[in-house]
Amino acid sequence: MSQLEHLWAGWRQAYVKGETSPQSLVETPEGLSIFSAIEQSGLPDEETLIIHRGETCFVLLNVYPYTTGHSMVIPFREVENLSDLTSQEYEELWQLVRTTVQSLEEAYNPDGVNVGLNQGQAAGAGIPEHLHVHCLPRWLGDTNFSTTVAGVRVLPETVKDTWTRLRKAWNK
């Protein structure tokens, strides 16, 4: 008879409910996307999980990650479409995507990296009014029974630890 194994991640419950999300502390004023509200909150980057601030764009750790290290590159200016970006914003966006991927590879040594942009609600954009590019490290077999059967993801570290790890890798 095989023994049933238990996977305990009790610390995740408050996170899943959004009770301990650093970004949930940020109020979203009328007319601002959650990304703009986070960036303009005045809170330290460690609390908002901003990994890097550039001239026209910033990099933010996803507080509801698909995998550990799930980051987003976001222009400061709220635009819906790639074609709405200025040349400077466009260039910096993709430069930061490249640096984000390099940082993820340095910090996590993944088997691969997904880079994706969902432009518009029909394409799956959760916040369609503020364009953003997702960067996700991936590992062979990283989708398991928890995701398939229970619709749950189990992450091996806290988002604060992920932020610290990515900031360190970013500065290399």
Active site residue 132: yes
Answer positive or negative: Cα dihedral of 66, 82, 106, 114. Answer: positive
**Helix, strand or coil for residue 125?**
coil
Using CA atoms, how far apart are residues 74 and 121, in angstroms rounded to an integer?
Answer: 17
> Going by C-beta distance under 8 Å and a sequence separation of 6 or more, which residues neighbour residue 113?
101, 104, 105, 135, 136, 137, 138
Catalytic residue among 52, 70, 130, 132: 132
Residues tagged active-site? 132
